[in-house]
Amino acid sequence: MSATVNALLREDLRDFAGYKSARSEALAGSVWLNANESAWANGSDADGRLRRYPQPQPEALCARLATLYDVAPAQLLVGRGSDEGIDLLLRAFCMPGRGAIVTAPPVFGMYAVCARLHGAKIVEVPLREAEAGLCADLPAIGDAALASAASLLFLCSPGNPSGELLELDAIAALAQRLRGRCLVIVDEAYIEYADSPSATRLLEQHDNIAVLRTLSKAHALAAARVGCVLGNPQLIAALRRVQAPYPLPQPVVDAALAALAPSALALTRSRMAAVREARMRLADGLRMLPQVRRVYPSAGNFLLVRFADADAAFAALLSAGVVVRDMRAMAQLGDALRITVGSMEECRRVLAALETLRMEAAA
Ligand SMILES: *Cc1c(COP(=O)(O)O)cnc(C)c1O
């Protein structure tokens, strides 16, 4: 039994069973007349893959993902990107209009968006500028979670946009301190680029940790919308009751299974290594440019860069046809751009565009 899930699940949802779909009952038969589906395939659907409702949690895909992430199938929920996982966590563990979450900005915007839509309060503990980079202050985050009685706190590791990789020991210590009081959500959208272990290895010891993983980034499947929540089985079961009956369309399930076949996976792994190499070269190149003030260390597939004149850098890149993420509207990042690590050729385009800036300054 998970003390944390029992303590933190929304009181008004404790006896809520969710929607019982025709596909959720374990029945056997050869004539299926329980879901009002058509007896015939659509004329465009040659093999009839689309005629019936899909499995709520497609068994083959869940098994493949559980192997990939090294968890048991009961510890995994698959949904429409990690974005859906964030939303489900809010809906299951935060009272609308009353609950609170803790975030550490500047960070991925969806935690705050979901909280806002849900009427939950957002308690912010800003990242600290340090020698090592832009760093999350885990003790302060723990203090804020206790002081605000937040039921969820979101850590992002590697951080978007900070690039910071959190130590598993530090995450474990925070979870230990908040046991029974707050869920620690670790968003690992970019962990494949970090070359270091996932927080999933903390799940056995800590029933108040959940991990978000996605096929959108390193697996190059952003358009398919496939992401997972990994956590203890009771937490997963609670999220299932809140989720839509058939979250994953069959073509998406097929695409994800194909992407996780051994040959596709081998190619994905070689690309992760290529990105780490390109990231190092791009960072070195950027640090040579006089208009670059700081390139933060990054464990993701992007670099956060401060410029002497971020306006001019953004414009120079744009006029060379290179679109990067403008971070200037974010607190603490008024002079920063976030640049995705693309192919080697794309990295060269970035450096070449910024070189023109240097020449203009000299002229
Ligand atoms: C890109 C990103 C995601 C991905 O979300 P999906 O819905 O799985 O595409 C999640 N978290 C962070 C921090 C991201 O940057």
- In this structure, the strands spanning 209-214 and 183-187 are parallel
Query: How does pLDDT run across 54-109, given as a tens digit for each residue?
Result: 999 999 999 999 999 999 999 999 999 999 999 999 999 999 999 999 999 999 99
Same domain, 319 and 232: no
Ligand 1, atom 5: closest residue by C-alpha: 82
Alpha helix segments (H runs only) across the chain: 3-8, 59-69, 81-93, 110-118, 138-148, 168-178, 233-242, 250-259, 262-287, 310-319, 344-362
pTM of the model: 0.96
Write down which residue in 231, 260, 289 finishes a domain: 260
Say how far apart CA 74 and CA 60 lie, in whole Å. 13
Ligand 1, atom 1: closest residue by C-alpha: 189
**Residue 291 resides in a domain:** yes
**Residue 296 resides in a domain:** yes
Query: How does pLDDT run across 313-352, given as a tens digit for each residue?
Result: 999 999 999 999 999 999 999 999 999 999 999 999 999 9
**Ligand 1: centre distance to CA 128 (Å):** 23
Same domain, 80 and 112: yes
Same domain, 173 and 110: yes
The answer for 332, left when phi > 0, alpha when psi is -120 to 50, beta otherwise, is: left
Same domain, 151 and 300: no
The domain that contains 169 carries what CATH number? Answer: 3.40.640.10
Number of separate domains in the chain: 2
**Residue 233 resides in a domain:** yes
Residue whose CB lies within 8 A of the most ligand 1 atoms, among 65, 84, 88, 108, for a mutation test = 108
**Residue 303 resides in a domain:** yes
**Residue 266 resides in a domain:** no
Q: What domain range includes position 303? A: 273-362
Same domain, 159 and 236: yes
**Residue 54 resides in a domain:** yes
User: 79: which 2 tokens?
Assistant: 């949904």
Residue whose CB lies within 8 A of the most ligand 1 atoms, among 155, 190, 217, 341, for a mutation test = 217
Same domain, 300 and 250: no
pLDDT value at residue 29: 87
**Ligand 1: centre distance to CA 22 (Å):** 31
Same domain, 253 and 280: no
**Residue 267 resides in a domain:** no
Residue with tokens 């991990």: 211
